[in-house]
A = this chain, B = another copy of it.
Amino acid sequence: MGAVHKEFFTVRTVAEALAGFRPERRTGSERVGLDDAAGRVPASPLVAPHDLPGFPRATVDGFAVRAADTYGASEGLPAYLEVAGRIQMGVEPDVELAAGRALAISTGAMLPRGADAVVMVEHTAEAMPGTIEVVKPAAPGDGFVRTDEDARAGDVLAPAGRPLRAQDLGMLAAAGLVEVDVCARPRVAIVSTGDEVVSPDTAVPGPARVRDATAPALAALVREAGGEPDLRGIVPDDAASLGRALTAAKDGADVVVVSAGSSVGARDVTAAAIGRLGEPGIWCHGLALRPGKPTLLAECDGVPVIGLPGNPRSALVVFRLVGMPLVRLVGSVTVAPPEPTVRAVLDRDLPSSAGRLDVVQVRVTDGVATPLFGRSALLSVLTAADGSIVVPEEATGLPAGTEVDVTLY
């Protein structure tokens, strides 16, 4: 037909894109309560304002003692100590422990001055009312945690850039940091295009039309990456409509994602519209990736833009591979949460081309990975899969029997 196929001016590998496409856009910070802080990213290191636990604290039930009073104690030759009372839980002891004496203490209570060890109750016996015998010597430091043993004032309790985990919240609560400064969630505008695409809530799309499957799935992936999706609806595949829609989307967004039309013509319209959206413009027109070659990366007036392939399956593969890392970058995540993976043995040959990354959907059963083939237009291949494997750029395929790492969904 003489049609000029100008769609892939600049094709990059996925590794090049991850290393080289690093827009400077970052969200600001905001203050949130601990209740809302799980998974949020500290804007700067969160530091202990004082020592923790803040006082010497018993870790066993027993008796606060001077360790020296128990030296050499044994079953045959116990040390005898006079019980001078009981430490009350949650109250600072008002007595100092004198030599030759013991104070009953429970796990969690504060050691009295003068004591340097807690003897477990199991290593004691009542010799006579008011006197115990200790049958095992204690060393200084036994049976309690020091004032600053869990954290010292100034210690980093949670680093910047790593999403807060449950135990981090515990540590922050212990330190009284009930409000923390975190990076705001990147606002990710999702623009759908395609003259054949209608909204998911269309009861009867009519023949030749499909509901927008990509946008709701992308919204979930955006949230998983710590972003806040903004579904901007479906825009017709013409230059004017798309230009207006992208300009409006860019204004309020930290990242713009375009779920492009499926035809080459529609993709050309999208590429042109993104090219006109702002400076410096398009960074690459394609990725050496299957599925997902027609992926466009751009930066327009400081806002990163991703143009995704038209079919939902390719779009989701690309967004996991390069979109989620981009959302995390903008959200200042420097330590991404670990991904679930499993090792498995490939049950058949996987052909591939050198120089291209292949993402292959697989089912995993008893340590065996079975590739799911099927046209890239089929979303059902992705919903039937337990995870995916990557055939690296340098490989020309993987033979049956290869041990592979499956990234699980």
Contacts and interface: CB of A to CB of B under 8 A. Distances in A.
Interface of A: 1-3, 34-35, 38, 52-55, 57, 59, 61, 89-93, 106-110, 121, 124-126, 132, 145, 149-151, 157-158, 165-176, 178, 194-197, 200-203, 205-221, 223-224, 237, 261-266, 310-313, 316, 337-343, 375-380, 382-383, 387, 408-409
Given A145-B375, A200-B176, A106 B265 contact: yes
Query: Copy number of this protein in the oligomer?
Result: 2
A361 to B, nearest CB: 10
B124 A1 contact: yes
A106 B265 CA distance: 8
Contact of A196 (B109, B150, B175): B109
Given A1-B125, A61-B263, A341-B341, A312 B201 contact: no
A217 B1 contact: no
A306 to B, nearest CB: 16
A185 to B, nearest CB: 15
B3 A110 contact: no
Given A149-B378, A178-B200, A409 B263 contact: no
A310 B107 contact: yes
A248 B125 CA distance: 41
Contacts of A223: 38
A89 B92 CA distance: 78
B340 A263 contact: no
A205 B54 contact: yes
Nearest to A59: B377
